[in-house]
Structure 1
């Protein structure tokens, strides 16, 4: 079960959004435990109800439609007790409430465990089976361990409803505040443009190939394209950077040399691996090595290596939207899970006024470049549901490390006054 748990958590961490996370959980847990049903009920704080948010085995049309009050049903009892409940025939329990439209009448065995993060109840994870029987201790332990592992992931995805509050209630809810750390001081107000990873390295399978020469040639072609892209990005930022910051792009290029990442990848291809698999292996090993380093500056290099890996994979796959096709509005605030120097160069410099990164710190190359360019930046906003804020108005406070999504007119005016005061003291500063 431990290996199964590890694989599930790995897949969850690679999922791009909350919906995908929940889908992975219910599918994998249902399969791992060989049950007929696995469902997740999450608390909607605004409505004060448990909402069925994902299921494998119940009627999928009921997802998002059926709900329970916080003290209703066995699910409500699990939340109130904050402990698992294991029933051999749930329908005979005094607290059982049948949720119409789910088709759960035919299921008897029931095991539910609370999903708790930092003593806050997020929801309940449930498995059900047609048989009348109690789940054994190992199955219960697996469910408890699973909920503990997943609680942090779900919390960071704003599983308690704040993603919905941002994406669906922006007309009524203002001043959603998120905390990070300052990467570069200053204030910026503008629409969010979310830049997503170019390709998913974690999703690349191992595969053997026969024509090694052709595979090496394919990789070298992708490598040449990435080199050209990095040089183009470096040139686009050259006027706004000092020589020492411009050298960061030379570092990127050197990392692609034959005696560095590229050489290792080619060696793996010559051993019989297809280019994408070799790329995933080498990038993964280097990312892990840098991520474990004690020095915070060196630890941040994992982000640069991951970015290069994604760019090479994109060229190998020849798929996905081109970054050059993204439309950047005036006063763009660039948002990403992990900002990289190359991402900065993709945005026309006259339109870029702020940078916002879910992960990373002031030691990242992106933050270093932001300070050199004088672009207000906030890093490490780990609770921000960044995939749901595309196009929304954002206030980025690089002094305090705070970010406000869908700010109220009063708050916007307050920050505009700050920007105006700053511009008066520094006439050449862009607002």
Structure 2
């Protein structure tokens, strides 16, 4: 058997092992056999003892397991951990770092190969093989060990974490439970929540349904149709229960579910199988799992999210077929944190709104239906926590950190108190900022900085106006498209746009034309690409489909009739040809509407600078349009080559990276040379320190999430423009993003504005 086949078999077996001990035992036995060595052992690092503990062995004395350990600097194992690289020795006893462990019986063995087990840059432990004869392990053997270690690191980390979570059942629980174990995901909705886990699962599991013939086809058809009706009623009930918290566009997510239930492609396929002789549960299983596999195989992130919706509906129908009484109700404690493998919108209705304080999903991303709703409601949420052993968390206390995308399980009293302090600070700051609503964002030396907001849902409008927004710098028009199963008509779009324009009139409203692709897609307009962020997205899509672009622009223009506060913004532009063509299409739509008798005026037209190519053409663009706006989130992502939705690299996403700051300064300077206004929307504008830097660079409008607006306004009112410019000059001489971030925090504290910065979060070791 080839080494690759051996590796695949080991990974497959280990991934299904029930606990950490079984995982480690399987690893050492399989590797010892595959490499034909006398010994294979695993030492895991214990962060409490700060020692490498022998946790499994095949070949050494079994009684040494759990009783033998080495410090971080002790023995060759300690050297492997310190250096984080393999050590391959012909005779270990001659190495200066050799430390004889009498209890193991290792004195017979000479050849030694140790490789580090590394997960997310942390050394979890050391994997060791030993042999009696004097020899160096050859290159292929060393390469195999390194490969095995890399493949198994995540599995070991997961098993170790699960063991830590379950440690309350063991005598040493009081020690192990205080590790403040955290799991990384993607921050989907900001804020901090502390509460008790409620695991959202349905009793019905599609994969466990057996094959059975239908003894009475008519009865099976009736049972299936009754289950469909019952699920429809459930969804309508949940939608009605959330009606006070959601507006029409958010509630349209439930309409998506109802349309799926009425889709002949789904229901007819199930009934066809029933008529062919399958019982209803088996027919449902076959059709749902095929659709789930099809959606999961798609490259598009949004379409993959639809697999969650399909599976959720399938489970709900199955629960009625099995029990006739629907999903099992959940007993919810106060301060419930809803945790699910795949969080779906309907699951939000499982917990009463007054008890729901946080959301966590093992699967999914910031673009899922559930994430959209969580942001709308304002519940701290973390998505994509891929290593979280969620089925073992019921009733556990957790902390949801919606700022950094972390979930802490079984937190220590010290960590709980630290996060409670963060929550107290958040409440105190919010209360202190309420009086700023009607005051201008004006510096101490009289410079006025307009503060606008980013919106996408109807619920955003009321919150924005309550916080004193002076305009909309970015209205994400793709949201009304995403929550439907087909392109909205011109009239439907007009109604959505009119509500935004009317609510803010006479304040300006900047509507971005349809921006799909990348991390945003439409279920009825699939875009399948190997690299969607560098593919067919933004203006590229709409220029290729003028029929979509023109309908949208017509709806925008008609919605602005009599209000005249519309601004149109073009996303993802990279060339003057794109800008020229888009402006020509807008003028065409304008003339058509005027010929049809509509009293519409030509709106201000601008471009979004989101990619490096646009940075270096910004003066050319400025000559062609009325304004320039920077999309700092995407621009940062492209400059740094970091997908901010990927939890593996999200930590590399740094808004204050020197390269990003220099690009932003260049954009502002070049646009001003053409006498055109330049604005910015994104995370940096929403941070008080970042807002001061951007103001100093010459940005004339800052646009942000409405929740951040009061903090930014307070920061601007607390400094002079001259002080902000001095701050910028100092920052531009720095070379490290973290150094810049810390300097901004310190400066704000010196100015008496420290309470406005993003909360300082407790930083624990994993």
TM-score range, shorter chain: 0.5 to 0.7
Partner residue of 1:396?
400
Query: CA 1:387 to 1:72, structure 2 compared with 1: closer, same or farther past 3 Å?
Result: farther
Structure 1 residue aligned with 2:258: 250
Q: Retained in 2: the 8 A contact 1:91–1:108? A: yes
Task: Find the structure with the greater CA-based Rg.
Answer: 2
- 1:421 shift after superposition: 7.3
Task: Write the distance in 1 (CA, Å) between the matches of 2:113 and 2:222.
Answer: 53
Compute the displacement of 1:67 (Å). Answer: 1.7
CA distance in 2, matches of 1:212, 1:132: 65
Show CA shifts across 1:199-255 (max 9, x none): 9999x8xx9x8x7668x99x9999789855685366345320554122243256358
Matching residue of 1:141: 143
Contact 2:11 2:152 in 1 (8 A): yes
Note the aligned Cα RMSD (angstroms): 5.4
Contact 2:48 2:179 in 1 (8 A): no
Return the match for 2:100 from 97, 101, 112: 97
CA contact (8 A) 2:235 2:254 kept: no
Residue 282 to residue 361, structure 1, CA distance change in 2 (3 Å):
same
With normalisation by structure 2, the TM-score equals 0.42
Q: How does 1:123-142 map to 2 (within 5 A)?
A: 123-128=125-130, 135-142=137-144
Query: How does 1:168-207 map onto structure 2 within 5 Å?
Result: 168-169=174-175, 180-185=185-190, 187-195=192-200
For 1:300, what is the secondary structure of its paired residue?
helix
CA contact under 8 A between 1:240 and 1:373: conserved in structure 2?
A: no
CA deviations on 1:257-287 (whole Å, 9 max, x unpaired) are 2456x589989999xxx98996897367325
Q: 2:364 maps to which residue? A: 360
- In the alignment, the residues of structure 1 paired with residue 65 and residue 273 of structure 2 have an alpha-carbon distance, to the nearest angstrom, of 44
CA deviation string 1:178-219 (max 9, x = no partner): 6654434555332233457979999x8xx9x8x7668x99x9
Structure 2 gaps of 5+ residues are: 435-462, 464-766
Q: Does residue 1:2 correspond to 2:4, yes or no?
A: yes
- Structure 1 residues not aligned, in runs of 5+: 427-431
Structure 1 window deviating more from structure 2 (328-337 vs 5-14): it is 5-14
What is the count of residue pairs matched by the alignment?
A: 411
| Aligned mates of 1:234, 1:360 — CA distance in 2 | 24
In the alignment, the residues of structure 2 paired with residue 196 and residue 73 of structure 1 have an alpha-carbon distance, to the nearest angstrom, of 47
Q: How far apart, in 2, do the equivalents of 1:288 and 1:124 lie?
A: 35
Contact kept, 8 Å, 1:50 with 1:123, in 2: the verdict is yes
Match of 1:412 in 2: 420
Q: Would the alpha carbon gap of residues 305 and 117 (structure 1) be closer, same or farther in structure 2, given more than 3 Å must change?
A: same
Superposition pairs of residues 233-248 of structure 1, within 5 angstroms: 235-241=237-243, 242=248, 243-248=251-256
- Relative to structure 1, the CA distance from residue 35 to residue 105 in structure 2 (aligned partners, 3 Å threshold; closer, same or farther) is same
Following superposition, the deviation at residue 83 of structure 1 comes to 3.2
Deviation at 1:126, TM superposition (A): 2.5
TM-score for the superposition, normalised by structure 1: 0.68
Aligned to 2:690: none
What is the Cα deviation at residue 69 of structure 1? 1.6
Contact 2:196–2:336, Cα closer than 8 Å, also in 1: yes
Instruction: Give a deviation string over 1:288-325, Cα, whole Å, max 9, x none.
Output: 413x22xx32232344455567779999999xxx9737
What aligned pairs does 1:303-314 form with structure 2 within 5 A after superposition?
Answer: 303-305=308-310
Q: 1:301 to 1:125 in 2, by over 3 A?
A: farther
Which deviates more, 5-14 or 66-75? 5-14
Contact 1:157 1:383 in 2 (8 A): no
**Partner SS state of residue 360, structure 1:** coil
Between the aligned partners of 2:317 and 2:109, the Cα distance in structure 1 is 48
Aligned to 1:72: 74
CA, structure 1 residues 93+368, in 2 after alignment: closer, same or farther (shift >3 Å)? same
1:106-125 superposed matches below 5 A? 110-117=112-119, 119-125=121-127
CA distance in 2 between partners of 1:220 and 1:90 (Å):
71
State the 1:151 CA deviation. Answer: 3.1
- 1:287, 1:306 within 8 Å by CA — same for their partners in 2? no
Q: How far does residue 147 in structure 1 lie from its aligned partner after superposition?
A: 1.3
Q: 1:348 to 1:98 in 2, by over 3 A?
A: same
Q: Distance in 1 between matches of 2:9 and 2:403?
A: 40
Instruction: Tell me whether 118-127 or 389-398 shows the greater mean CA deviation.
Output: 389-398
Give the distance between the partners of 2:178 and 2:393, measured in 1 at CA. Answer: 15
| SS of 1:143 mapped into structure 2 | helix
